[in-house]
A and B are shown apart, each in its own frame.
Chain A
């Protein structure tokens, strides 16, 4: 068998491996398992084809490989962020956030929808999962929007789009994982995400303002809240906004290092939830909610660690097969305009985003695209002035990561398969899927503008890391 395989180049084995990976994924094999299977199997075939790469030493890496992944200090924020989001959700801080914003700006035309965007951004940032944000905020805000006779299209579109905001705004699990893959600083990534993330919030709010100006029937003028009710909502907003604001800005501006900030922030939210419950000021965190927060953290964190481990093993296989180098060689030797290649990569992310979990996608695809991009740009040590994309390799790392995540966000509201749209349509039973997609289109449009802006002006991502960490 070794003789037969020896005629294969190791790159061919690598490419066959990619094919098998997609085949296994299509056959419902769990994502992490498929990556591990191809990683281990691929290494075995490479050892047959190239006796220099022995199989047993590869297997011996498994003594500590798994331990190495779960004990990674930088990744320790992942379960903490997940727990933070679940606790915030079980303590119903999402309700307080929406009601508070609503008391602030709800009386303006379209204000309740804008309040929903604000609440989505705040809650989404802390929660970190766009699907969870869409479903939580959908349940909180949709009934209120319907009661006030907002157009169902505007209401559902707003929430489907608002749900995507949290992926980018720190604390973001996806950014942590990207940073670990390309060996960037998590703090730099968080700082870089702040401006593009807030830009999205501003764009969405402006979109609503323009829509309700063009079509006033979309958002009827609402009566002012009763003063007592308004005061109560504002009082409830203050602590939540304080906690969320400190976590988001503290991490985004790099004031705290991620792990202690995540651990401390989670503790504060837990204590505040218990305080609400025992002081009788609100429902707060029940025993059931507390237990389920931890158990659901186990499910999500277990899933992410399994995929991370699979990606680690797959990476060893791809590196041995020489695939990153091969892709880099192809792209730089192809003579295709580098900007077109970049846009093709982003399109690939959107298309794959229709089939794959966004985290899994980042884990599978980025390790490939990244070396090719560096090669195109002019190598690891290129200076900004002579680089193809006009950025040094370190800046390119940050910029590409942010844009890749924005594109992943876009995939969640892209017809005909945007997952956020499905979730909102399943909550708003009286609104058809088609209407939700029509409602989300204006937001889709401004997202395209935002991507264009970020592509044209890398400074939007780089300005904060530049001034804050030099």
Chain B
């Protein structure tokens, strides 16, 4: 259930990535059309504020990937030094680190809420489009909370699975 939530959340982030691709393609098409139209003295306008849009979209989608990455145990670890230890010891270590990740995600979520309040109060806008910056903090905060839930759940999961990804 938690894993499915993380999965949908990551796919939603993927949709944002796709939006960047689509906007870029439109822009390039408009630019090419403009070049062609210029032959007859015409104009085709591309979308302005491309960098603004990419910045806001990538800020959201980058963090939306975190819970799924955690659910897949995607964060790399160095395991050459612990491979010879018994399985139980390795798993105990992993569970400790999962709890630390859970705490860290909550810590980051707390500060990101503070950040949201700050950019809200400052009325921070993007440079060209003039869009408010604060909405791009919201998916980030949700992602961090979901990340904490996934890691916390993994720490107490009875069946352990394969463990984290090796480098």
Contacts and interface: CB of A to CB of B under 8 A. Distances in A.
Interface in A247-295: 259-260, 263-264, 266-267, 270, 291, 294-295
Interface stretch (A26-34, A92-100, A213-221): A26-34
A224 interface: no
A446 interface: no
B152 to A, nearest CB: 14
B77 A31 contact: yes
A71 B28 contact: no
Given A267-B24, A294-B14, A28 B90 contact: yes
Most chain A CB neighbours (cut-off 10 Å) among B14, B82, B100, B101:
B14
Interface string A26-59: 1111111100110000000000000000000001
A306 B69 CA distance: 10
Contacts of A260: 24, 27-28, 50
B149 interface: no
A453 to B, nearest CB: 29
Interface in A153-207: none
Interface residues of A, number: 54
Q: Give the bracket for the number of chain B residues in contact with chain A.
A: 35 or more
Nearest to B85: A28
A306 B66 contact: yes
Contacts of A302: 65-66, 68-70, 74-75
B142 interface: no
B108 A357 contact: no
Nearest to B56: A71
Contacts of B25: 263-264, 267
Given A66-B112, A266-B21, 8 more contacts: A29-B100, A30-B164, A66-B111, A259-B24, A264-B25, A294-B18, A299-B69, A301-B69
Interface of B: 7, 10-11, 13-14, 17-18, 20-25, 27-28, 50-51, 54-56, 58-59, 61-66, 68-70, 72, 74-82, 90, 93-94, 97, 100-101, 104, 107-108, 111-112, 114-115, 118-119, 136-137, 140, 164-165, 167
**Those 4 A-B pairs whose CB atoms lie nearest each other, nearest first:** A302-B69, A70-B62, A71-B59, A63-B115
Interface of A: 25-33, 36-37, 59-60, 62-64, 66-67, 69-73, 75-76, 79-80, 83, 259-260, 263-264, 266-267, 270, 291, 294-295, 297-303, 305-307, 354-357, 360, 417
